[in-house]
Chains A and B, each alone.
Chain A
Amino acid sequence: MKQCSHETIQQCSHILPLPPWNHSQLKNVCHEPTYRELFYAHSRHVRNFLCYKGAAASEAEDLMQEAFLRLWRDCAKVPIEKVKSYLFAVSGNLFLDEKKHEQVVLKFQRQAPMEEATEENPHFDLETKELQDRLEAAIAKLPENQRVVFLMNRMDKMKYAEIAERLDLSVKAVEKRMHLALVELRQILKGI
């Protein structure tokens, strides 16, 4: 068996987690290709996150850009593994600082649901369009923290652990919000 000593730590990185000081040297935010890669990887999700919070599309994009600008200014202070939570926290605060948001502006693009949808419930297709309209309105009525988690999972296809990492929550907390969001959505739709 290969022994991992101080000298061989590089080769053993698959066994031992790299110490934080080493990690930040290998890949850090001030390195332009890394920064660009981070932008390509996260810009959409940050922008969507702001929409879920209630920002209009153009406002969401501006705030996302501002969050990334701040990341660049702070690049030496933000370790790479903290970038995601940094971006979501900063953009969330930027959103709060904006003028008050009276109404949630959430508009979705529509597509016919996937073919399989009809198997389980044959009546589904007829009412789809109408249901989607009502759903859009109901989502806007959800409490913000439920709406954000719910849409990050449903729209961005993020796993609960991924959402938890970005929003600095426990996985359990994400699951609770997710569960509650579904319960509430149904109640809003049913007029309960």
Chain B
Amino acid sequence: MENNDHDDILKPEGSDDDTLLARWLAGDLSQADLEALRNLESYPDYVEMLHALEGMEMEEFSPTLAWQKLSLQLAVEAEEAQKAKEMAAEEVYVEGTAVEVQPPLPEALQQPEAKIVEIGTKQAANPTLQTVNRQPSIVNRKWLAIAAAILLGVVGIWWFAGRDPFSFTDTDYVTKAGEKKEVKLPDGSVATLNAMSKLGFTTSDWTDGRSVVLEGEAYFKARKGKTFSVRTEQGTVEVVGTVFNVYARGNELEVKCAEGKVQVINPEQTERVLLKKGEQVSILGGKMQKRQGLASYPNWFKGESTFRSAPLGRVFEEMERQYGVLVLADSLGERTFSGKFVHGSLEKAVKMVCDPMKLNCEVKGDTVWVK
């Protein structure tokens, strides 16, 4: 075997080891190779170049916006394909022969959603169609396309967005009543889950895009990096690297930005709002409301729940989640609550809410009666 340790030190980089620098960047070099590399005259240049590069980034890109564009286009195509199919079907009826629009797929690849596969059938079906003049005039087609775009845009977004978001995650965390959980994400970002919440993500695709799905409430510390998105049924939150709280329950989404900047997008993706430090936004039944100043800094993870002008119903719901109890109230009306309750003791918590509100509350086992 040839010993070329000596050569390694003397030769200029790359003369016969044509992957040295690549392996260096990947941290794959042996101690000896590393030593040799550091002795090279050009080594400081590489270090300098790579450091300068650290501060350079690609222009930002919003996958959510891009998806909106794409799903609109897909919906229009689906409509066109449907039309072509209907026309083909009529044609078949007249001629009494089956039109094979696509070569049959191998058994294993055939989809239950066959309708979708047929997006590509328009051209294939055309040769039979051209003999019969059913095509609307150019003008009509243009208007048809516009109408289809408007109509199907809405349906399309719903169609592509309205599925169980957890069906494609491979790592899910769920908290029970009264439970909190700190979840380390693959990039070192941290999500703290409040009681009765669910967080999911796909580990295998994590390096491709930082994205989690949330049901319930969580406090995020996202490390700096590519866009970090939190998708909920009530809307999407996008950040680059910051600290923020997301509350997504019922028909309400509330996002509080504690540091940096946070972008919130409604489920229809027609509205977006940029939050700066100390701002919050809520989407209630599809309506967006931005508020300046943290109404209540999220500190449920420090052992108490804080509220500012929150509907009493929501306060007691939070109590149910924190203590795993049932709260039975006659009627809370439109009353709102500002204050907090602790997580350590149910008796104390009930007192902290009921006393200032002049409510008559009683704890019986797992049930809290409110009169």
A37 to chain B, nearest CB (A): 5
B55 lies within 8 A of chain A by Cβ: yes
- CB within 8 Å of B: which of A165-181? 172, 174-176, 178-180
| Given contacts A24-B108, A76-B105, A180-B18, A132 and B45 within 8 Å (CB-CB) | no
Chain B, Cβ-Cβ closest to A108: B56
A141 lies within 8 A of chain B by Cβ: no
CB contacts (< 8 Å) of A82 on chain B: these are none
Is there an interface contact between B55 and A132, defined as CB atoms closer than 8 Å?
yes
| Chain B 52-71 interface mask (CB, 8 Å, partner A; 1/0) | 11111111110100110110
Is there an interface contact between A44 and B209, defined as CB atoms closer than 8 Å?
yes
Cα of A112 to Cα of B224 in the assembled complex, Å:
14
> Which stretch from B158-166, B255-263, B269-277 is at the chain A interface?
B158-166
- CB within 8 Å of A: which of B25-51? 25-26, 42, 44-51
Contacting B56 at CB < 8 Å: which of A32, A34, A40, A110? A110
B111 lies within 8 A of chain A by Cβ: yes
- Chain A CB count within 10 A is highest, among B26, B208, B227, B229, for B208
Contacting A189 at CB < 8 Å: which of B47, B49, B58? B49
Chain A, Cβ-Cβ closest to B107: A21
Cα of A48 to Cα of B229 in the assembled complex, Å:
19
A30 lies within 8 A of chain B by Cβ: yes
Contacting A135 at CB < 8 Å: which of B49, B117, B120, B164? B49
- CB within 8 Å of B: which of A42-72? 42-45, 47-48, 51, 57, 61, 64-65, 68-69, 72
Is there an interface contact between B55 and A128, defined as CB atoms closer than 8 Å?
yes
CB contacts (< 8 Å) of B138 on chain A: these are none
Chain B, Cβ-Cβ closest to A154: B53
Contacting B57 at CB < 8 Å: which of A109, A120, A158, A162? A109
A137 lies within 8 A of chain B by Cβ: no
- CB within 8 Å of B: which of A109-157? 109-114, 117, 120-121, 124, 128, 131-132, 135-136, 153-155, 157
Is there an interface contact between B19 and A175, defined as CB atoms closer than 8 Å?
yes
CB contacts (< 8 Å) of A131 on chain B: these are 48-49, 52
Chain A, Cβ-Cβ closest to B51: A117
Interface size on B (CB < 8 Å)? 64
- Chain A CB count within 10 A is highest, among B50, B53, B160, for B53
CB contacts (< 8 Å) of A157 on chain B: these are 207
Chain A, Cβ-Cβ closest to B73: A69
Contacting B207 at CB < 8 Å: which of A68, A155, A158, A172? A158
Cα of A36 to Cα of B152 in the assembled complex, Å:
17
- CB within 8 Å of A: which of B205-219? 205, 207-209, 211
B321 to chain A, nearest CB (A): 28
Is there an interface contact between B21 and A179, defined as CB atoms closer than 8 Å?
yes
Cα of A45 to Cα of B66 in the assembled complex, Å:
13
Chain A, Cβ-Cβ closest to B50: A154
Chain A, Cβ-Cβ closest to B165: A33
CB contacts (< 8 Å) of A61 on chain B: these are 61, 66
A154 to chain B, nearest CB (A): 6
B113 lies within 8 A of chain A by Cβ: yes
Is there an interface contact between A135 and B52, defined as CB atoms closer than 8 Å?
yes
Closest 10 CB pairs of A and B: A178-B22, A175-B19, A113-B55, A175-B22, A108-B56, A21-B108, A41-B208, A117-B51, A73-B120, A41-B205
Residues of A within 8 A of B (CB): 20-21, 24-25, 27-28, 30-34, 36-37, 39-45, 47-48, 51, 57, 61, 64-65, 68-69, 72-77, 107-114, 117, 120-121, 124, 128, 131-132, 135-136, 153-155, 157-160, 162, 172, 174-176, 178-180, 182-183, 185-186, 189-190
7 A-B contacts (beta carbon < 8 Å): A20-B108, A33-B168, A108-B58, A108-B59, A109-B59, A132-B56, A159-B207
